[in-house]
Amino acid sequence: MPLSAGDKLGPYEILAPIGAGGMGEVYRARDPRLNRDVAIKRLKSNHGARFEQEARAIAALNHPHICQIYDVGPDYLVLEYIEGSPIQGPMTEADAVRAALQIAAALEAAHAKGILHRDLKPGNILMTAAGAKLLDFGLAKLVSDDQATITIGVSGTPLYMSPEQAEGKTLDARSDVFSFGAVLYELLAGRRAFDSLAAVLRDEPAPLTSPAAAIASRCLAKQPGQRFQTMTDVKTGLMGIVGHARPAEQPSIAVLPFANMSGDKEQEYFSDGLAEEIINALVKVPGLKVIARTSAFAFKGQNTDIRKIAETLGVTTVLEGSVRRAGNRIRVTAQLITAADGSHLWSERYDREMADVFAVQDEISAAIAAVLETKLAAKPEGRKHHTPKVAAYEAYLKGRHYQWKLTREALIQSRECYQQAIALDPDFALPHAALAEHFQIASSGLMEPREGLARGREAARRALEIDPALPEANAWLAIFAAVFDYDWKEAERLFRLALTPQPVPPTIRHWYGYFYLRLVGRAAEAVEEHRRGLEADPLNPIYRTGLAVSLRAAGRDREAAEEAAKVFELDPNFTAAYTLQAFDATRMPVPEALALVEKGISLSPWHLTSMGLLAGLLVRNGEPERAQEVLRRLGSADTFRVPCALAIFHCVCSEAEQAAEWAQRGIEQSDLMVPMLLLSPPYLPVLRTAARWPKLAALMNLPETA
């Protein structure tokens, strides 16, 4: 018998019916224990212990584009309540690909847990302000180690079934790939790929002409072996379209991380570092587009086809190689591959002493330029600067290896490595510049800001004494001038120096946009700098985050939300992706924002500013007791970073005067997070209404444009 508003189902109070599906009725309900709305799917029958066991396993999935299962009853499921409407076509290709990437990412995460969807269709996908959300996820099959498949109740929808599913055969992830293709086809065409189950088994859909349609067509191959074999492969193809990754006319290259063949996993830092140094040498070649480290290394350990990598990154050539180290000798192999057909353009093997590692880097770079010289204006210059001691160089590479991990422990290890490199070779500029970057990162939560400022400046100045042309050193001095001293004129001067050497490293463009342009009211220029940085590093989640923040500052909210969603697609465990989305709590239901910020805190619990955001969202969600508990966990108000966290808390609660008071205390602490966070929406509009805003603006020397 259908339920009505006011009825009870277990501890849940029914608010209103939402609709009915193949498995039963769906209701909006209230969970009085957690004070939140939920969706309840009341099933047609009691599915028993087996159903509860499988549903709980599926509830372990935690992905931003999957509707979460909260609880299981004898004949009902309790789900995340989502504001949205079923996805439907036709869409523009850009919008269809964007949604498809989110769906593919969700399926990829589930398949990694051994969970198949088996009922993928537009009716099971909602479009929300934050993107696509998959419903009824995983209620088809859960693949385990001791059983081929386990059926738990969903038979599927005929017009979206794979042929093998329609014929009752054993299924694997490729069945979901087929259903995904049917959904993508419908988003592009505005009509179904098939009009009958017989057509699913026998016919090909009417052809469409576009890169995304080609991906849908491959997904819809009748034989599983002719489809994309994994959702990761599907994502790779889709991201090539997002990045406009068709082979460019100009020569272009991606240098993949070199394989470590030494038999010692601890030597990985060296093989990665060698590839990174070759990237740094190649960027100096005029006329050659070089993909930056983050994007080139995104495929590490994935065994992805070279041609797919080239398509995703938009390059004409790919360099791959390996390093074997034995005692004081190294063997480096390298091969340059053309993206069009996977053929080898050049390959070479180098057997050298460790002391010759720098010559090997130069020789590989020169060989690549020689192969492409018909289209290049010049070859790379040989090494002119200080050649470091090998031991110092190794310590520096170890530091970079640890720093890229971006965990508290790894950051401490990276600092120790840089300091070791400097002790071994004080005239080696790069570890000094790397220390400046380290101390800026550490000032975001690992050490007292003033200490980070002083030590970071000292390191950057020493790097410039050694190498006056080092752009990273000038950029870090510019950042310190901006977010610590509020000396915007000096920051602009130093950034101009950092931007002078050509080509400009993409990281410099990102820093210029994020730490300077958006903060002085030049958000539109910041957006352009971020986009230019992403041309060389399209898969970098940090740059994508910076673009989203600057778009929001420029008032381009829809584009900002789209870019923020892409960060999830690049790295579902990237902390900033969750806090970035949750910052914009005014544009999404508060429970959804809460889930995002809680996930971000679980990944980086040392980010105290996120605790202030969490407490504010809890107040807005009607949970003041939990909010006070979070605020108590912040610690003493005199502890660095706490005033900024409390300013955020009061901003979220729309308490402008209290927010301004705490912001001032953060400024007095030289907390760099004050300008980085509070001079952006949604906090800045609240602060500007406070009576002491003119004083805050004066303390930060903000120009009129800001």
Distance CA 682, CA 239 (A): 30
Provide the 3-class DSSP secondary structure of residue 277. Answer: helix
Q: Give the residue from 193, 184, 188 showing the smallest Cα distance to 234.
A: 184
Please state the length of the chain.
706
Q: Which residue has the tokens 């953060």?
A: 666
Q: Report DSSP state, residue 572.
A: T
Distance CA 547, CA 364 (A): 34
119 labelled catalytic: yes
Beta strands in 354-422 (DSSP E): none
Whether residue 674 contacts residue 684, with contact meaning beta carbons closer than 8 Å, is answered with no
Helices H, strands E: what count in the chain? 30, 17
User: By the 8 A CB rule, do 174 and 162 touch?
Assistant: yes
Tell me how far the alpha carbon of residue 350 is from its chain's centroid.
36
- 337 and 347 Cβ atoms separated by less than 8 Å: no
Helices (H), 513-641: 523-536, 541-553, 557-570, 575-583, 590-603, 608-620, 624-634
Selected catalytic residue, list 119, 172, 176, 537: 119
Residues 652, 675: Cα–Cα separation, whole Å: 17
Which backbone phi and psi does 390 adopt, to 5 degrees?
Answer: -60, -45
Question: How large is the C-alpha radius of gyration of the chain?
Answer: 27
Side-chain half-sphere exposure of 71, counting CA atoms within 13 A: 19
Q: Report the distance separating Cα 315 and Cα 8, nearest Å.
A: 59
Looking at residue 151, what DSSP letter applies?
B
| Distance in angstroms (rounded) separating the CA atoms of residues 215 and 280 | 34
Region of residue 516 (left: phi > 0; alpha: psi -120 to 50; beta: else): alpha
Q: Give the DSSP letter string of 89-127.
A: S---HHHHHHHHHHHHHHHHHHHHTTEE-----GGGEEE
* Residues near 639 by beta carbon (within 8 Å), at least 6 away in sequence: none
List, by residue number, the catalytic residues. 119
